[in-house]
């Protein structure tokens, strides 16, 4: 195939990133904004030896899985990729993304259906990153001064509402009542319940604090200290569901041994799991996050390691035996050194929280080769209207 070539073909499943997959002349073609069951006419815009990318020219026959996107910015804004699919179909496609990753990338065949815990499909997102709209880009005519990145470019689209965002964030957008910090063109807002935090100057929280970035959010009846400038999960409802899954896994562990929380962030998981164990070791390279983790685990026996997982593996991990461990790495997954160490000397029960099916599948294959078995896998739909899927895998020796 060549760039510019026109074709008509049916769409198969959705892949990671949200594009539909088509097979034309023996080549896999990826097309955004298409749905499984569509018949589409497309134009090739990028071509390589094994695959190509195409843009939608005409929807010849619409899939019954389609729905009308409620957001007028959908297709231009870079935040959502699946608003054109009904929510039941989004869940099914995400389970398929997980299955494909484990089978094709991890060499781990899965039997039975993969359960995915659904989220409220709208007004679920508690944390957003806003960008200053450059002068002369239409901000004055729309009245908006803040926006999100466009889907296909670095352009900033003015935004006055966002239907996936928490009602508190929607109010801020409608009122244009947030400003970026001096000298910054992007910043983060967090809102849930009585808490509204911003890097830029807004704060509403019951927890006394010296700056507008820090406060507390209520999860399962417990106040968790957090900072708008430090990573924190963006869907509070799903985070509570994930904590329930971790509590179930920890209940099966030997609670006479200590536990470890790798990539612990502000210590959210440790705050709920730590009381079950005689000691909890927390590992996090972000010093701001580890300081908040200290506050969130106050009253527990803890050791905090403000370092990377690789450094921790070379020191503390070798010298200790753990009954339970939870790891919540970034999109890159476990580092080679860490997954090798866990495969060889990991605890009897390891709970792995992942935001990327591909790296989760890769790491799972190596952990299983090292002596673990996959006890259970569940998806959590932290980000409806997108193709992202969070997962919890529980491994046992």
pLDDT at 137: 53
pLDDT at 142: 44
Q: What is the pLDDT along the chain (397 residues), one digit of tens a residue?
A: 899 999 999 999 999 889 999 999 899 999 999 999 999 999 999 999 899 999 999 999 999 999 999 999 999 999 999 999 999 999 999 999 999 999 999 999 998 899 999 999 999 999 999 998 876 654 444 445 889 999 888 899 999 999 999 999 999 999 888 878 877 888 999 999 989 999 877 788 877 776 778 899 999 999 999 999 899 999 999 999 999 999 999 999 999 999 999 999 999 999 999 999 999 999 999 999 999 999 999 999 999 999 888 888 877 776 678 999 999 999 999 999 999 999 999 999 999 999 999 999 999 999 999 999 999 999 999 999 999 999 999 999 9
Domain covering 6-61 in this structure, CATH number = 2.40.50.140
pLDDT at 136: 60
Q: Does the model's pTM come out above 0.85? A: yes
* Full 3-state SS string of the chain: CCCCCEEEEECCCECCCCCEEEEECCEEEEECCCCCCCEEEEEEEEECCCEEEEEEEEEEECCCCECCCCCCCECCECCCCCCCECHHHHHHHHHHHHHHHHHHHCCCCCCCCCCEECCCCCCCECEEEEEECCCCCCHHHHCCCEEEEECCCCCEEECCCCCCECHHHHHHHHHCCCCCCCCCCEEEEEEECCEEEECCCCEECCCCCCCCCEEEEEECCEEEEEECCCCCCCCHHHHHHHHHHHHHHHCCCCCCCCEEEECCCCCHHHHHHHHHCCCEEEECCCHHHHHHHHHHCCCCCEEEECCCHHHHHHHHHHHCCCCEEEECCCCCCCCHHHHHHHHHHCCCEEEEEECCHHHHHHHHHHHHHCCCEEEEEEEECCCCCCCCCEEEEEEEC
Segments making up each domain of the chain, as ranges: 6-61, 90-120+235-396, 127-227
Do 90-120+235-396 and 6-61 have the same topology in CATH? no
pLDDT at 144: 52
Topology, domain 90-120+235-396: Rossmann fold (3.40.50)
């Amino acid at each position: 195939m060549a760039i510019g070539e026109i074709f008509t073909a049916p769409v198969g499943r959705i892949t990671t990133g949200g594009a539909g997959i088509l097979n034309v002349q023996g080549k896999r073609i990826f097309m955004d904004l298409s749905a499984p069951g569509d018949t589409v006419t497309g134009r090739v815009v990028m071509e390589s030896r094994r695959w190509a990318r195409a843009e939608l020219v005409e929807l010849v026959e619409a899939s019954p899985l389609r729905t009308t996107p409620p957001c007028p910015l959908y297709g231009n804004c870079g935040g959502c990729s699946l608003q054109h699919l009904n929510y039941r179909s989004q869940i099914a496609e995400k389970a398929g993304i997980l299955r494909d990753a484990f089978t094709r990338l991890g060499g781990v065949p899965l039997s039975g259906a993969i359960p995915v815990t659904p989220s409220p499909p709208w007004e679920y997102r508690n944390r957003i990153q806003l960008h200053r709209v450059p002068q002369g880009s239409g901000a004055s005519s729309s009245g908006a001064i803040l926006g999100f990145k466009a889907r296909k470019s670095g352009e900033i689209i003015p935004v006055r509402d966002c239907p996936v965002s928490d009602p508190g964030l929607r109010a801020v957008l409608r009122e244009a009542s947030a400003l970026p910090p001096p000298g910054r063109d992007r910043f983060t807002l967090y809102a849930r319940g009585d808490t509204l935090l911003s890097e830029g100057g807004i704060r509403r929280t019951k927890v006394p604090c010296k700056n507008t970035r820090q406060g507390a959010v209520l999860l399962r009846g417990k106040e968790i200290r957090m900072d708008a400038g430090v990573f924190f999960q963006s869907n509070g409802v799903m985070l509570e569901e994930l904590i329930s899954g971790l509590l179930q896994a920890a209940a099966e562990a030997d609670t006479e041994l200590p536990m470890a929380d790798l990539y612990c962030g502000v210590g959210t998981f440790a705050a709920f799991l730590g009381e079950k164990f005689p000691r909890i070791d927390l590992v996090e390279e972000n010093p701001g996050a580890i300081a908040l983790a200290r506050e969130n685990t106050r009253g527990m026996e803890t050791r905090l390691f403000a370092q990377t997982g690789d450094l921790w593996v070379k020191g503390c991990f070798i010298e200790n035996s753990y009954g339970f461990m939870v790891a919540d790495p970034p999109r890159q997954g476990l580092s080679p050194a860490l997954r090798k160490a866990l495969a060889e000397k990991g605890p009897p029960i390891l709970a792995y929280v992942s935001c990327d099916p591909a790296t989760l599948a890769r790491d799972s294959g190596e952990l299983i080769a090292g002596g673990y078995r996959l006890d259970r896998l569940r998806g959590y739909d932290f980000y409806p209207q997108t193709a992202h899927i969070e997962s919890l895998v529980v491994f046992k020796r």
